[in-house]
Amino acid sequence: MANLVKENIRISLKAISSQKLRTALTMLIISIGILSLVGTLTAIDAIKAAINSNFTRMGANTFTIRNKNMTVKIGNRGRGPKGYRQITYDQAIRFSKEYEFPAFPSVSTMASGNATIKYASKKTDPNIRVFGGDANYLTTSGYEMDRGRNFSGQEVEYGTHVVILGKEVSEKLFGKKTDPLDQIISIGSGKYKVIGLLKSKGSSMGMGGDKVCIIPLNNVRQYFSRPNMSFTINVMANTPQQMEAAISEATGRFRIIRNLHAGMEDDFEITKSDNLANLLIENTQKVTAGATFIGIITLLGAAIGLMNIMLVSVSERTREIGIRKAVGANHKTIRNQFLVEAIVICQLGGLLGIILSIIMGNVFSFFVLEGSFIMPWAWTILGFTICMVVGLISGLYPAVKASRLDPIESLRFE
């Protein structure tokens, strides 16, 4: 059996080599179909990996308390837009002091989302995010210190003019020749002393994790104050297993702080670190479905093209089929020969498409998402399986037609 398969493959390769241009065009159509399917799915895997990397870097044991967004009620009983109270500084600080669960709470707020940072004659683009945080902010937000130090309790309390820089901000202002530590930079109209540098967190998916500056929380309250400023509370439980208990405790404690009585809905929301990641990943399923549909349509066209080339091949090789039958080949042998030929063409086209899709997906991962190498084993196996099915479907009718040719009429065919 194995020898028969090898012989059929050898004959198929010989037949393919005799019609190079026609076969190459058919293989190209198949490879484009596989590229559109497997390549897009590989890119989606890269997107999922980047999402998980960005949103779960804080840890699976971290959650955030923030004020709810405004909602609109629709209907006869609706009362129009409903706004929720901001989380005040006093409420956030009270929570961090009264929260008795074994965890690390931190309080933070955004000072600016489009700040320009200056040092001497150099300055950044106006796209730097400036956060105010306490001594626990780096830990609960997933940042790691590269050089320098974190805020002291005294600096947070008195709002000292010190700053911790993200990697990209540091490189933009100081380059490689100047040591950023202890240098004085300008944020808005204020002067700040650089006391720490953060490790790179990555900027994939447009999150800009390295375009940040972190200053003491009370400094933001003094110099970046604005009406209805809202504060965010990050909480890191000791272990992921304690997350649900920590969230329940936090909900009960914060309801007391917000003076919410029994029966009243929460006017704040608690988000786990992986919730946004899961939401975005769910949205990529629509893209996956669209890519699959496009790939199937392209492969359908390739299947029609392959069936056409096999029918032409049967017509051109009618005399050859008659000779094979005359020397003892039965209809099953002829049928298998043409089936194997169709499968070989499909697999060669699929191999080319899979190689191109892996290259395309990883180029997207490296240069767009700044991610790592991805080998889509599942999609690769799926690609080869689809090529096998397409080969069988496209080659079955021509193979059956070839096997049913009358040997006498075939020998007389010109």
Q: What is the pLDDT of residues 240-267, one digit of tens each?
A: 778 889 999 999 999 999 998 888 888 8
The pLDDT of residue 278: 62
Instruction: Evaluate whether 206 touches 370 at the Cβ level (below 8 Å).
Output: no
Asked whether the predicted pLDDT for residue 5 surpasses 80, the reply is no
Taking only the tens place, the pLDDT of each residue in 109-145 is 999 989 999 998 899 999 899 999 999 999 888 888 9
The DSSP letter of residue 261 is P
Instruction: Evaluate whether 89 touches 231 at the Cβ level (below 8 Å).
Output: yes
Token pair for 200: 């790179």
Q: Using alpha carbons, select from 358, 61, 98, 74 the residue that is nearest to residue 237.
A: 61
The pLDDT of residue 4: 62
Query: Cα–Cα–Cα angle for 248, 253, 254, nearest 5°?
Result: 100
Compute the CA torsion angle 295, 301, 303, 305 (nearest 10 deg): -140
CA distance 393 to 339: 9
The pLDDT of residue 98: 92
CA distance 312 to 402: 11
Instruction: Evaluate whether 342 touches 399 at the Cβ level (below 8 Å).
Output: yes
The pLDDT of residue 305: 77
Mean pLDDT, range 58-66, rounded to an integer: 77
**How many angstroms separate the Cα of 273 from the Cα of each of 87, 100, 346?**
19, 21, 44
The pLDDT of residue 389: 82
Asked whether the predicted pLDDT for residue 357 surpasses 50, the reply is yes
- Continuous segment of H or E residues that includes residue 148: strand 145-148
Q: What is the pTM of this model?
A: 0.57
Q: pLDDT-based confidence at 37, cuts 50/70/90?
A: confident
Mean pLDDT, range 346-359, rounded to an integer: 85
Taking only the tens place, the pLDDT of each residue in 265-314 is 888 988 876 655 566 666 667 777 777 777 778 777 777 877 887 787 77
Q: Tokens 């050859």 belong to which residue?
A: 320
Asked whether the predicted pLDDT for residue 68 surpasses 70, the reply is yes
Percentage of the chain exceeding pLDDT 70:
83
